[in-house]
Amino acid sequence: MELSKFKHKCQVQVRTFDIDSQGIVHNSVYLKYLEIGRVEFRKSFGYKIRPDGTFNDGLRFVVVHNSIDYRSFAVLDDVLNIYTRVSWVKNSSFCFEQIIENDVTKKIICEGIGILVNLDKFKNEPSALDKKFLDELLQYDKEVAIIRD
């Protein structure tokens, strides 16, 4: 992943409850950090989270795949940059690519992939992403690949 392709960045600071017995961020915590990046990415489009945990545009996304490649580690009080982009969109699914970097050292901590699917709110089955969602992504980042099955 090339950092130059990422337009969205948010930050988190490592807290005591993120640390394991070795004094470093526990590997599972990076999933939380990546989720924070995805949520902040959606919020940057002006959407708000409703009490039921969904965004106010009515789309209902669930994670169907996560993968992380660890490159380094973070410690207590590190400030981490979470870079997030959507790399491709299919009919009902799309892929987030993410990089977590130490803000001071600029060392890459990890790279992650998250695939999400839009679910029909009544049937709980995959449902086509609406045109507005796709238009907003393409307006934000022209490099999003549109894949039609």
pLDDT tens, 99-110?
999 999 999 999
Q: Model's pTM, two decimal places?
A: 0.94
Proportion of the chain above pLDDT 70, given as a percent: 99
Q: How confident is the model at residue 146 (pLDDT cuts 50, 70, 90)?
A: very high
Report strand pairing: 8-13 vs 93-102: unpaired
pLDDT of residue 138: 95
Residue 53 has pLDDT above 80, yes or no: no
Using H for helix, E for strand and C for coil, what is the string for 3-65?
Answer: HHHCCEEEEEECCHHHECCCCCECCCHHHHHHHHHHHHHHHCCCCCECCCCCECCCCCEEEEE
What CATH number is associated with residue 49? Answer: 3.10.129.10
What is the domain count for the chain?
A: 1
Q: How confident is the model at residue 75 (pLDDT cuts 50, 70, 90)?
A: very high
Domain that holds residue 127: 3-146
